[in-house]
Structure 1
Amino acid sequence: MHVFAVLIAAYAILAYGFRPLGEFVGPEMRANFQAHQLGIYTHVFAATIALLLGPFQFIERLRRKRPRLHRISGRIYLGVGVGFGGLAGLYMASFAYGGPVAKLGFAGLASAWLYTGWQAYRAIRRGDVATHRRWIVRNFALTLAAVSLRILLPLSGISGIPFATAYPAVAWLCWIPNLLLAEWILAGQITPRFFSNSR
């Protein structure tokens, strides 16, 4: 999880920080990005912060030995990464390539990301650590939609599915299975080592 998160974050920094905007996407998406530069840059770089900080929030040793660092990085993760990233994602969803199905898929992802982040924040503010951890598991599963998206799109291309057909489906498939897996973990059906101290 750390590796995938860092790789996708590195890709985002390279593609959006050092290359012309939209260089690695098709012409329609490129035109869309260029027409809404503030929205796409805010979404990409805020989400990159979430990808880089999120995995460390689950490390038990860090939470136990450096609680202040855990709190500070958690505030940045939720406030900057999820907050700004989610709001910008919700805005950009209205312009998403792929028609209404893709727009609704990405809007659903952004809304769920913001909602789970808000619930995690509310829980920790009232001192309910157990509930906070459950909401953060859901929230980070949605953060990892950035990873799922970049796995599913190449796989669909290799499978011969036209991009225009695959993209609206991927707008949903990049996050709903992640959320279902999170619920399965929280229900105790499986206990990955990474989440073993997070329930």
Structure 2
Amino acid sequence: MERISRLAGSSGFWLATITSVLVAVVSYRFIPLGVQQGMEFVAHNLDGNALALFAHIGVAPIALALMPFQFMSGVRRRWPALHRWSGRVYVAAILVSGLAGLQLAFHTTTGAFATLGFALLAFIWLGTTGAAFYFAVFRQIERHRRWMLRSAALTFAAVTLRVYLGSSMALGADFAIAYPIISWACWVPNAVLVELYLRWVHSLKLRTT
């Protein structure tokens, strides 16, 4: 899986890294501003669902900030213990924020279509990350890296969601119409692109053997 390792050397990877870290930092704007002002589209969860809300918005940015560094081959080679421990924190952050996100999905105000989109995102996010962790524990490194890419694609949904949400607001789209679409658009293309990439890598491997 050398090609997966080489992702860390691409300009696209570094753009994704910078974007992920910036979005993770900006996600904590609810601390100085409050949820009502900083994240008004989820503020309705403060009434009766605050624990899940803060578990998600407080912990998910940790996973987002750590995610790109899991693919840096230099870090893995020079500081393997750091790679392992940051990976464990990444998995733990997704366990907490994914379960919280699954609960939040059933409290969306924009209908069943949005609920299904966000619930599936949380469920598959937990599943792909759990698979990556399982294969790491049992030292099946190639499988671990493939499942980590799948997990990362869904973690990056935090970025694509904000891109689509900001774009829809700038275009004056009706939130009640745009948000259910975004609940799927923020992660399905990411997941599809990763699967296409993995199939391409596999086909190249078959050609050279």
TM-score, normalisation: structure 1: 0.89
CA positional deviation for 1:31: 2.6
1:12 aligns with one of 27, 38, 45: 27
Structure 1 match to 2:130: 118
Number of equivalenced pairs: 187
CA positional deviation for 1:122: 1.0
Distance 2:47 2:25 in 1: 21
Segments of 5+ residues of structure 1 without an aligned counterpart are: 190-199
Residue 73 (str. 1) matches residue 86 (str. 2):
yes
1:142 aligns with one of 130, 154, 163: 154
| Aligned-CA RMSD value | 1.6
Judge which range, 5-14 or 175-184, deviates more.
5-14
Structure 2 match to 1:108: 120
Distance 1:7 1:35 in 2: 30
1:44/1:85 contact within 8 Å kept: yes
Residue 47 (str. 1) matches residue 43 (str. 2):
no
Q: Which structure: greater helix fraction?
A: 2
Q: Which one has a bigger Cα radius of gyration?
A: 2
Residue by residue, what CA displacement relative to the aligned partner does 1:157-189 show, whole Å, maximum 9, x if unpaired?
A: 233321110000000000000101111221226
Residue 22 (str. 1) matches residue 36 (str. 2):
yes
Structure 1 match to 2:173: 161
Distance 2:65 2:47 in 1: 26
Paired letter, 1:40: L
CA positional deviation for 1:19: 1.8
Identity %: 39
CA positional deviation for 1:94: 0.8
1:21/1:34 contact within 8 Å kept: no
CA positional deviation for 1:87: 0.5
TM-score, normalisation: structure 2: 0.85
2:64/2:156 contact within 8 Å kept: yes
1:22/1:34 contact within 8 Å kept: no
Partner secondary structure for residue 161 of structure 2: helix
CA positional deviation for 1:155: 1.4
